[in-house]
Structure 1
């Protein structure tokens, strides 16, 4: 199932973590002269993840999500939960450097495979296609010559007419190499939805209350969740700079907030505490 994660940005951190160490070490005099990450390159991968059935659920399920990251003709491609973001500013050699470009993602929360029988009686929701801008700034060499600290935010609007609302998602992340072939990172992010977004995912109307037995509830705009994610990446031949195969492991926790937490969908049938974990394989060329 391809769905947008409530822990926003975790897969962006995952793949970035597997290659940023190599990019940082381009300045290392011991690095190989043929560095696949110096020019155009692409990382493709797939991750398996165990996560809540929906944002706010206490039932868990396994999912598979494809990943893509790279740089083509000065445009950087970065994965986000359920989609991709493009960085149109080619200033990766500056310090700090800035990111600005479009982000597009799918949100498939409660679109089939709802494990809770009561919540399932509320009916399936539609897939949302969320589009908007993303901006950020990265500070390299914060604690050591090869690490980086990033602050970013994106705003997205649903263009398919599912929730018909918008979200704002700020995040901060820190990445550092532990060796030429091992990278670790931590990110903290949050998601805030407007009235339309929160109403679509967390309100229960009279018909839904009659079908499910849950109380009617009217959700208003506010923070949906805040969470932290950890990632460790490993290059299989011990050197990120020559591309090839790598693996990553990740874990995360998020906490539902405001009306997303108070809704009976979460407070009665689910849990405000959300956990996830996964493992993935990537290839860079």
Structure 2
């Protein structure tokens, strides 16, 4: 996937929040829920809050990088999970009742704010194309999470997000499928590997990757008519460490993220990428979180 500031918090929380409840409980052969070495803070309602700092391209396809803050939030109330989707929020409306061993269906609404090409554009030529409006994207997320694949506490998640811009900034649609595997290495150390992709429609591609006659005149970049399709593919690795030595008791933890993605299709061929930027996109982030 293309990993932008918009979805940094969601990916970080796969390690700092979503991976940790795997320690909490298990089911025996008769389907009865039993405690696994103590359910801890994740036995009932819980909340993870945090703050991180990220280092990412200044726009989608840029080869200039910038630092930015990344506030984090994720939790569960009465069996309903919720969390950050970058500058936004999702809610899993399928209540976690442990009625099926090892398998949980995920489904619910999400909302995101997209600020690509709206903030600090480092490249003066791309900046001359003008800033884009802030997009408000509303949609849904769905998938399945399977635990205990190779050990009692790991988790494999297959999911997809789909959202549409309702603020008339790019007027487009985005689909983001992903697969991730998370596992603790010790009671204090969590890891997660994710593979993702992003598919965009013509409206989205035209907004962020096309250059019309006015843009050609303002920037000197050649005109380009971008079409939709697969925008990017990528992989991310995350790690988290609980400072008390046991994630089940909540408290403070630290996390780190490394991500690589490559733009493809017209997102790669666009002059904002091929002439002024780079199809290879790198992202780093680190921070602290607190769970209670």
Give the TM-score, by structure 1 length. 0.94
2:55 equivalent in structure 1? 50
2:159 equivalent in structure 1? 152
CA distance in 2, matches of 1:8, 1:226: 16
8 Å CA contact 2:171, 2:203 repeated in 1: yes
**Superposed, which structure 2 residues align to 1:80-159 within 5 Å?**
80-91=85-96, 93=98, 94=100, 95-159=102-166
CA distance in 2, matches of 1:175, 1:73: 24
8 Å CA contact 1:7, 1:254 repeated in 2: no
CA distance in 2, matches of 1:199, 1:120: 17
8 Å CA contact 2:7, 2:87 repeated in 1: no
Q: Say if 1:121 and 1:60 are closer, same or farther in 2 by CA, change over 3 A.
A: same
2:226 equivalent in structure 1? 219
Task: Give aligned pairs, total.
Answer: 281
**Superposed, which structure 2 residues align to 1:1-285 within 5 Å?**
5-6=3-4, 10-27=8-25, 31-32=37-38, 35-91=40-96, 93=98, 94=100, 95-285=102-292
- What is the SS of the residue equivalent to 1:179? coil
State the 4+ residue runs in structure 1 displaced beyond 6 angstroms.
none
CA distance in 2, matches of 1:53, 1:9: 14
8 Å CA contact 1:70, 1:78 repeated in 2: yes
Deviation at 1:173, TM superposition (A): 0.3
Deviation at 1:82, TM superposition (A): 2.7
Q: Say if 1:18 and 1:68 are closer, same or farther in 2 by CA, change over 3 A.
A: same
- What is the SS of the residue equivalent to 2:126? helix
Deviation at 1:27, TM superposition (A): 3.6
8 Å CA contact 2:3, 2:261 repeated in 1: no
Give the TM-score, by structure 2 length. 0.92
CA distance in 2, matches of 1:91, 1:27: 12
Structure 1's unaligned 5+ residue stretches are none
| RMSD after superposition | 1.7
CA distance in 2, matches of 1:214, 1:9: 29
CA distance in 1, matches of 2:209, 2:97: 40
Q: Say if 1:9 and 1:207 are closer, same or farther in 2 by CA, change over 3 A.
A: closer
